[in-house]
A and B are shown apart, each in its own frame.
Chain A
Amino acid sequence: GAVVSQHPSWVICKSGTSVKIECRSLDFQATTMFWYRQFPKQSLMLMATSNEGSKATYEQGVEKDKFLINHASLTLSTLTVTSAHPEDSSFYICSARLRTGVGQPQHFGDGTRLSIL
């Protein structure tokens, strides 16, 4: 079945640094990928929709200059958390779906646990 891979699985870094998270669709092409954030004991919250070859669409309240998204190819989207601070510590998850086919589901990566010290 369709596989979405995220890298890294977890990262710890100092406050003020920037962190890049990669999301790859391994066996299919994805025109659209999605980025979510999840805090402990809460549900997933959609941050932005990443479209190949165009600008990402951000949800209300998500700072586009803080969370930079690049979707340069049909198999790769990246999320960069710029100048990260402790409040950015969270579980970040991406998803993607096949380009064609009626009713195709989204497939999710295993997430990246980000801890900012």
Chain B
Amino acid sequence: DAKTTQPTSMDCAEGRAANLPCNHSTISGNEYVYWYRQIHSQGPQYIIHGLKNNETNEMASLIITEDRKSSTLILPHATLRDTAVYYCIVRVSPRRNRDDKIIFGKGTRLHILP
């Protein structure tokens, strides 16, 4: 799976949009971009994923650049409960590869400031 690079930490004011970047310059054509977050002392929570089109759900939006070498997770109106470590992960669709284990990097520690 392609490696990802994320900033170590970020701050965002409550109520503002939080934009979390991720670089994945070695991504290949059949690899998806997944975002998870881990709130302190809990298991990771799935947020969103995409292949090449931008995606939006009730939690966030995912913007993937046209060359797919980077992406941005957007939390439109951040709240204090969004304080967590956010992980950007790139991997092959599990339908094509049964061995779809996730290797976690260090992620971005997002602090939402009151």
Contact = CB atoms under 8 A, between A and B. Distances in A.
A51 to B, nearest CB: 8
B10 to A, nearest CB: 17
B107 A95 contact: no
Contact of B43 (A32, A43, A93, A105): A93
B49 interface: yes
Contact of A111 (B34, B41, B98): B41
A48 B78 CA distance: 35
Chain B: interface size category:
20 to 34
A80 B107 CA distance: 29
**Which DSSP category, helix, strand, loop or mixed, fits chain A's interface?**
strand
Contacts of B81: none
Interface residues of A, number: 28
Contacts of B54: none
Contacts of A97: 94, 100
A49 interface: yes
A105 B34 contact: yes
Nearest to B42: A110
Nearest to B85: A43
B99 interface: yes
Interface string A96-109: 01001111111111
A43 B106 CA distance: 6
A46 B87 CA distance: 15
Given A43-B106, A97-B94, A111-B42, A103 B49 contact: yes
A103 B51 contact: yes
B105 interface: yes
A44 interface: yes
B107 A43 contact: yes
Nearest 10 A/B pairs, CB to CB:
A108-B43, A44-B104, A105-B46, A108-B44, A43-B104, A102-B95, A111-B43, A110-B43, A93-B43, A103-B93
Interface of B: 32, 34, 36, 38, 41-46, 49, 51, 87, 93-95, 98-107
